[in-house]
Amino acid sequence: MPGYLKIEGVDKVFNGGAKVLGNVSLRVEKSEFISIIGHSGCGKSTLLNIVAGLIPATSGVVLLEEQEVNAPGPDRAVVFQNHSLLPWLTAYENVRLAVDKVFGGASSRAERHEWTLHNLELVRMAQAKDKRPGEISGGMKQRVGIARALAMQPKVLLLDEPFGALDALTRAHLQDQVMALQERLGNTVMMVTHDVDEAVLLSDRIVMMTNGPQATIGEVLDVSLPRPRDRIALATDPVYLDCRQRVLQFLYERHRYVEAA
Ligand SMILES: Nc1ncnc2c1ncn2[C@@H]1O[C@H](COP(=O)(O)OP(=O)(O)OP(=O)(O)O)[C@@H](O)[C@H]1O
């Protein structure tokens, strides 16, 4: 069976508590854009963190190109909701640090400098390269975080609600940028989101998770919209509206959120 990234029979129990994830299995193809959607607390970030190698699965396995994942590595770059830039370094230095770490032994200083600038240009942050995180907006910080992740040339880009803390217009702008970059670079992306429109707009497939405990994959929806995608044109596209409706039905009819007692 094909599958660039394979999640097979993953369970997660934290500290002898309830089973958060129960038997999660998923195959992601190279250059696919997958969204993971589900109610708050169902275990989306836990699943992403297991793929990142930040936490271990209790049972089951994650394979990336047939190699077992059991620690963090530059082949799986993560972008979190709240940027994780070092505040005392400039945008350039934040990206350069990652570039030096990954390519320090393999490429010259001049090449690493060019590669750092190239990735800042990809997210249109080259002009603000000498600014520190405290001097730029939330959207700009996320763009630097994305540049840093892309600069590592990861096999899989893991996005944990990357636009969640942004206002609606900045979010839309950044979604369009990420969509364009993915089409250009062919990245394999796994993104956690709460936003149904974001999931439909960006994804090739939407993975819908059931509520916890023992959350698992309830349904996977193929989003068969051609690319490039235009958010204005899609607003009245019957395929887009149908996908949106199916995700909403899953989340609000079949797997309604139940407040923990
Ligand atoms: N380190 C941890 N130790 C103990 N329990 C944890 C830990 N991390 C997460 N959990 C629990 O696992 C469950 C799933 O959490 P997770 O953050 O993965 O959910 P989520 O779907 O990403 O939520 P949200 O959408 O609100 O971010 C929650 O009940 C949470 O309290």
Query: In terms of residues, how long is the chain?
Result: 261
Index of the ligand 1 atom closest to the CA of residue 215: 14
Query: In this structure, which residue's CA is closest to atom 26 in ligand 1?
Result: 40
In angstroms, the CA 133 to CA 141 distance is 6
pLDDT for residue 34:
98
End-to-end CA distance of the chain: 42
Can you say how many angstroms the Cα of residue 111 is from the centroid of all Cα atoms in its chain? 27
Query: In this structure, which residue's CA is closest to atom 31 in ligand 1?
Result: 41
HSE-up (13 A, CA, CB side) for residue 47:
34
| Max Cα distance, the chain (Å) | 58
Q: What is the ipTM of this complex?
A: 0.97
Query: In this structure, which residue's CA is closest to atom 23 in ligand 1?
Result: 41
pLDDT for residue 255:
83
In angstroms, the CA 146 to CA 165 distance is 15
Closest by alpha carbon to 4, among 79, 78, 70, 67? 67
pLDDT for residue 45:
96
Query: In this structure, which residue's CA is closest to atom 5 in ligand 1?
Result: 14
Q: How far is the CA of 46 from the centre of ligand 1 (A)?
A: 6
pLDDT for residue 254:
80
Q: How far is the CA of 144 from the CAs of 110, 147, 164, 168, in angstroms?
A: 20, 5, 16, 19
Angle at 177 between CA 233 and CA 43, to 5 degrees: 95
Q: How far is the CA of 165 from the centre of ligand 1 (A)?
A: 18
pLDDT for residue 243:
98
Q: How far is the CA of 184 from the centre of ligand 1 (A)?
A: 33
pLDDT for residue 30:
96
Q: How far is the CA of 13 from the centre of ligand 1 (A)?
A: 11
- Using a 10 angstrom Cβ sphere, with 0-12 exposed, 13-18 middle and 19 or more buried, the burial of residue 159 is buried
pLDDT for residue 1:
54
pLDDT digits (tens, 9 = 90+) for 30-51: 999 999 999 999 999 999 999 9
Cα Rg of the chain (Å, integer): 18
Please indicate whether residue 257, judged by its CB atom, sits closer than 6 Å to ligand 1. Answer: no
- pLDDT 10s per residue in the chain (261 long)? 578 999 999 999 999 898 999 999 999 999 999 999 999 999 999 999 999 999 999 999 999 999 999 999 999 999 998 878 999 999 999 999 999 999 998 899 999 999 999 999 999 999 999 999 999 999 999 999 999 999 999 999 999 999 988 889 989 989 999 999 999 899 999 999 999 999 999 999 999 999 989 999 999 999 999 999 999 999 999 999 999 999 999 999 888 877 664
pLDDT for residue 260:
60
Q: How far is the CA of 61 from the centre of ligand 1 (A)?
A: 19
Measured from the Cβ of residue 88, the count of other Cβ atoms closer than 10 Å reads 10
In angstroms, the CA 77 to CA 70 distance is 14
pLDDT digits (tens, 9 = 90+) for 124-158: 999 999 999 999 999 999 999 999 999 999 999 99
What are the φ and ψ backbone dihedral angles of 58, each rounded to 5 degrees?
A: -75, -40
Which of 19, 24, 39, 42 to probe ligand 1 with, by most ligand atoms within 8 A of CB? 42
